[in-house]
Structure 1
Amino acid sequence: MLPAGDFYIFIVLLLLGGGWLLWWFLRKVVQFGWRLPSHPSIQHQDQLTRPLAQILQQHGYEPLSGREQVPITIELNDGRQFTTRLTIDGWAEKAGELYVIKQRRARSRVSFTATSLRDHLLIYSLLYRCNGILYIDLDHQIIHEIHFAYPSLRKHWRFASLGIPFLLGMSLMYFLIK
């Protein structure tokens, strides 16, 4: 049997470890629903164009919002500064997944090769952290659903993989000593 002080220390460590695992789980695993990224400098247009909304609905997508522009400032080390915009044609949702919409345009065609898709569309996946990109060709009434899979860009320790064995070991030792 453990002395009373050791038992209380064990309970405190168990609660701290359990609380930490719960915090990690809620932060990393549970998603509290999608919301459209928003920032005061982003310019929204409320509605998609009618042909774009119709083709989305025909393919089972729910149109959410229209054109969005994100202002970007580029600074060079020689002091020059440029401003530009990153524009998407809208947002859509299907089966709880959020998609960025890019419409095919004559002046900027995307060929369906890994390099072309990376160069033209990966930026939207990285910026918006969406489930995929809908590349829509209105002339041919085709929607290409494009998904990018890449490892996490953040380097961090995976302490949760150590937390569960620690708590199991603490529990086992408690019952063995008891």
Structure 2
Amino acid sequence: MQKFGDGLIMVIAAGIMVWWVWRRFDRWLHEPPGARLRKLASEGNVVPDDTVALLEQHGYDTLTGKHKVPLGVIVDNGSVQRTQLFFDYLAQKDQKYYLVKLERARKPTEWTASGLRERFLVYALLFPDCEGIIVVDPQDRLVRTIRFKVEDDDE
């Protein structure tokens, strides 16, 4: 035979769990846009180098450096295959955030619409609050900004 106190403790514990889950859901639901980026911006540190100086010359404040985004890929209900997506810096200009990728000689950017889509669209989709993706070519000292726009199919 159960005692009255045991049932009361279970009801209180269940109430606390429901309250905690509701609070977490409510916090997630009302999280302001860009909160994920602001959290990233507060996490990292920046080591001053030529790229940071080049970004500053173009009016960008470099907030953090070297980030990796862990991803899992599942094919045909198989096991999860782990992979990572990297970006080099997070920068800010006029209260807008930008992901920064460095141009690498071993994998040059194809500057066509389809080449840019294949290489950089994933970043725009993972971080929709970003204003764009900045591609920095440290050798040629170029800073280029890429933005994606969904267009109507009427054309």
TM band (smaller chain): 0.5 to 0.7
Residues 31-42 of structure 1 correspond to what in structure 2 (within 5 A)? 34-35=34-35, 36=37, 38=39
TM-score, length of structure 2 as denominator length:
0.67
- Corresponding position of 2:113: 114
Per-residue deviation, 1:81: 3.3
User: CA 1:47 to 1:132, structure 2 compared with 1: closer, same or farther past 3 Å?
Assistant: same
Q: Are positions 1:105 and 2:98 aligned together?
A: no
Per-residue deviation, 1:38: 4.3
- Corresponding position of 2:142: 142
Q: Deviations over 1:112-152 (max 9, x none)?
A: 1000000001111111111001000000000001111126x
Per-residue deviation, 1:76: 1.4
- Select the structure of larger CA radius of gyration: 1
Residue pair 1:132, 1:145 contacting (<8 A) in 2 also? yes
Aligned residues: CA RMSD: 2.3
Per-residue deviation, 1:80: 4.1
Per-residue deviation, 1:102: 0.5
- Corresponding position of 1:62: 61
Per-residue deviation, 1:79: 2.0
Residue pair 2:44, 2:63 contacting (<8 A) in 1 also? no
Per-residue deviation, 1:72: 0.7
For structure 2, the 5+ residue unaligned runs are 1-31
More relative contact order in 1 or in 2 (CA 8 Å, sep 6+)? 1
Residue pair 1:47, 1:65 contacting (<8 A) in 2 also? yes
TM-score, length of structure 1 as denominator length:
0.59
